[in-house]
Amino acid sequence: MSNLNDKVAMRHMDMCMEQEEKYTEAVLSDTERLQSKLQSEMASRLAFDLSTPPLRWGPWLYYRRVEEGKQYPVLCRRLASLNEEFISHKSPAAGFDFTSGKKIEQKLLDYNKEAERFGGYAYEELSEVSPDHRFIAYTMYDKDNDYFMLCVRNLNSGSLCSMPQAVRVSNIAWAKDGQALLYVVTDHNKRPYRIYCSIIGSTDEDVLLLEEPDENVYVNMRHTKDFHFVSVNTFSTKSSKVFLINAANPLSGLILVWDCDGLAHCIIEHHQGYLYLFTDAAKEGRDVDNHYLLRSPVDASSSQRIWESVFTDNKDMVVEDVDFCKTHLALIIREGWKIRLCSVALPLSVSKGPVHLKELHPYFFPLPKHVSQISPGPNYDYYSSTMRFTLSSPVMPDAVVDYDLSNGKWNIIQQQNMLHERTRVLYGTASSDKIIEKYSNIKSCDSMNDVKYEDVNLWNDLSEFYACEHYDVSSYDGILVPLTIVYSRKYKQENQNPGLLHGHGAYGELLDKRWHSELKSLLDRGWVVAYADVRGGGGGGKKWHHDGRRTNKKNSIEDYISCAKFLIEKEIVHENKLSGWGYSAGGLLVASAINCHPDLFRAAVLKVPFLDATNTLLYPILPLTAADYEEFGYPGDIDDFHAIRNYSPYDNVQKDVLYPAVLITSSFSTSFGVWEAAKWVARVRESTFNDPKRPILLNLTTDIVEENKYLQCKESALETAFLLKMMES
């Protein structure tokens, strides 16, 4: 199956997958009506936002909207100054200039037409409007050749520019106020290794600025928010470097501004003569657990450049992310496992040296209760004090919020309304002004910071109907693992409810605990949905990540098992009704847990899972990155090799035991080949006891599912019907 260039092998694989599909259909044939009902339920909850909320950058409002009957969106813009009082976040295209008698909207890029250019498929990875708003550079996926093609379009004429012409493009950045475009290309193993500069409108060949010959070194770049510089990162597991390119003269060369040992995350920003570096690099040869912020004068000599810390170290208040505008610095702060959002005024004092964050009088912005993630928006406009963030919670649809860093005002720009007739917040109807009015008579409230915003029901929070609880679960070695559970207040019964336990635990990534409307179908049928923040994932610092990778991968699996046992022992979930759910590396986590304790689970859903770690890491058929080996181990290292063999799901299937029912969904487009899923399914069927009530199913999905919400509903309905059937049987 892994011989992708062997036509005979591919024909056999097609036949095999067809048989698997028929078997899955046969096993779930008695759930067809249920699947149809679930799909209707889920489709009815889809957000029918015909437009993304307009994003202001300079004089323009940019947004994407879907035209009736079309599959792909259209990128549009309108001048904010025309009918400024009419800025609809729901339907920005409705604006009209009554003076000229023309529509305000300007169509920039129709992705339906792009689909015609790329074989009926329109997938864009990158897009950047030039700082002078005259051009847009974007990359489209060429499915036939499996690479991204660079396109540059003139926004005034709508025509494509003849230059640059480049393929395998992984990164783009504008320079010279939109007159030059820098782009990164990858080699045939998808390693970014070259940077070119193209002068827009010129017929000259693009200039090679950097080529990295070392196959272990990767190249990345981005422009600073004020467009004064383009920062270039070269990194490997051995070292990380940051160079600067003067955006006004991109051919003037690269200047080294940062160099450290080991793989480090490094983001450079420029603000009024100072470079700011946000990094997690080791300090004085010692690994650090979290990111920190440094600064250095931009005109300092490279050989004598000194970086000083902006904040003093504080384990109780960790900076997770930063964003700059001309007047303020926005910070996402973590206190334990709780996250907060605040801002401080710029410029910072130069003479003070490192200071405690509290000394800068941070303004903490309102957040909903149970917020699990804060994601910064594009925030292109360096000169605007308004920044956009998306707030996520297990019991609240994602809220897109604009915060004004200069005065503390905020406005919910867009949020799906799950309550329909019980609307609380929809398209900007909630704002700080309403709270100020409501709390104007509270004498004890000295400032807006003192208002208990999370208690003010303005967030379209569903906690009136669905409870969200947090627990610290003791793992096998005494480490406390955060566990979040969500359930319907109406249907909660002690020791009776079925449960679904999510896990991921890889790459230091946050576990997705956002509200997903498809899970409402399980919650409303009495299910408990739980999330285990196991080691290897994000939210607990670098040590939390490192304690669950390579030779420590066992910790992730044991953490997940401990959370599963906790749900049963505390009678939150019925002992015979617990199921697992894992996506990609999370599929490895759940499958490994099943190998260790097959009796603990009744069912599991594994989506495009990583199941054959030993063979994939030893003999990669699809390209793997250094980050993949850092995460799962180097098979050439003897300790790593033994650890891989001990946790790899395919190598540790138990014999002559009863396994839970498992539904695996895989795809040809995944980085973990479909043959991994097929091999694991075959081995489990061969090695374990066969029970018709606990089938092992493999379902192949198409690439189009990711692009089509209704196909996503169909797939979710199949998975939900599978779980419901397995619990009832």
pLDDT tens-digit map of 550-560? 999 999 999 99
Q: What is the pLDDT of residues 299-328, one digit of tens each?
A: 877 667 899 999 998 888 899 999 999 999
Q: What is the pLDDT of residue 94?
A: 61
Is the pLDDT score of 170 beyond 50? yes
10 — pLDDT class (breaks 50, 70, 90): confident
Own/partner long-range contacts of 405-412 (Cβ < 8 Å, ≥24 apart): 405/325, 405/327, 405/328, 405/330, 405/343, 405/363, 406/327, 406/328, 408/363, 408/365, 408/432, 408/448, 408/449, 409/433, 410/365, 410/366, 412/458, 412/459
Contact partners, residue 5, CB within 8 Å, separation at least 6: none
Cα separation, 608 vs 281, in Å, equals 32
Q: Please, what's the largest Cα pairwise distance for the chain?
A: 80
Which residue type is seen at 319? V
Dump the DSSP string for 402-455: EEETTT--EEEEEE--SSGGG----SS--BHHHHHHHTTT-TT--SGGGS-GGG
- For residue 433, the model assigns a pLDDT of 55
Question: Are the C-beta atoms of 564 and 600 separated by less than 8 Å?
Answer: yes
What pLDDT is stored for residue 418 in this prediction? Answer: 65
In this prediction, residue 450 carries a pLDDT of 37
Mean pLDDT of 183-192: 92
The pLDDT value given to residue 437: 45
CB count within 10 Å of CB 346 equals: 17
Average pLDDT, the chain: 87
Q: What is the pLDDT of residue 672?
A: 62
Tell me if residue 49 falls in helix, strand or coil: coil
Mean pLDDT, range 321-343, rounded to an integer: 93
Instruction: Categorize the per-residue pLDDT at 695 as very low, low, confident or very high, splitting at 50, 70 and 90.
Output: very high
In this prediction, residue 440 carries a pLDDT of: 36
With 70 as the cut, is the pLDDT of residue 389 above it? yes
Task: Tell me the pLDDT band of 362, cut-offs 50, 70 and 90.
Answer: very high
Tokens of 27: 């096993």
Q: Residue 438 pLDDT > 50, yes or no? A: no
Residue 100 has a pLDDT of 60
Residue range 71-94: average pLDDT?
Answer: 75
pLDDT tens digits along 264-290: 999 999 999 999 999 999 988 888 999
How many distinct helices (H) and strands (E) make up the chain?
Answer: 13, 38
pLDDT tens digits, one per residue of 587-645: 999 999 999 999 999 999 999 999 999 998 988 877 787 788 999 999 999 999 999 99
Which is more confident, 450 or 19? Answer: 19
Mention every residue, 6+ apart, whose C-beta is less than 8 A from residue 361: 344, 345
Tell whether omega for the bond before 164 is within 30 degrees of 0, i.e. cis: yes
User: Is 457 a residue whose pLDDT tops 70?
Assistant: no
Question: Is there a contact between 141 and 170 (Cβ–Cβ < 8 Å)?
Answer: no
Q: Which of 73-87, 104-118, 187-201, 714-728 has the lowest mean pLDDT?
A: 73-87
Evaluate if residue 134 carries a pLDDT over 60.
yes
Q: Cα dist. 687→467, 647, 654, 665 in Å?
A: 41, 18, 7, 21
Q: Which of these, 507, 574, 511, 489, lies nearest to 545 by C-alpha position?
A: 507
- Within 8 A by CB and 6+ apart from 344, the residues are 328, 329, 331, 357, 360, 361, 362, 363
Neighbour-count burial of 35, counting CB atoms closer than 10 A to its CB (0-12 exposed, 13-18 middle, 19+ buried) = buried
Q: What digits encode the pLDDT tens for the residues 245-260?
A: 999 999 999 999 999 9
Residue, of 4 and 330, whose pLDDT is higher: 330
What is the predicted pLDDT for the residue at 337?
Answer: 84
CA distances for 236 relative to 189, 232, 287, 627, angstroms: 15, 14, 16, 9
Looking at residue 301, its pLDDT comes to: 72
Q: Could you tell me the pLDDT band of residue 455, with boundaries at 50, 70 and 90?
A: very low
Give the integer Cα–Cα distance in Å for 377 and 387.
Answer: 7
Give the model's pLDDT for residue 87. Answer: 61
| Sheet architecture: strand order including 74-79 | 55-57, 60-65, 74-79, 106-110
**Confidence at residue 670, expressed as pLDDT on a 0 to 100 scale:** 54
DSSP H or E run through 579 = strand 578-583
Query: Of 65-79, 156-170, 213-227, 435-449, which gets the smallest average pLDDT?
Result: 435-449
Q: How confident is the model at residue 707 (pLDDT cuts 50, 70, 90)?
A: low
* Sign of the alpha-carbon dihedral angle for 298, 300, 303, 309: negative
Residue 423: pLDDT above 70? no
Residue 421 scores a pLDDT above 50:
no
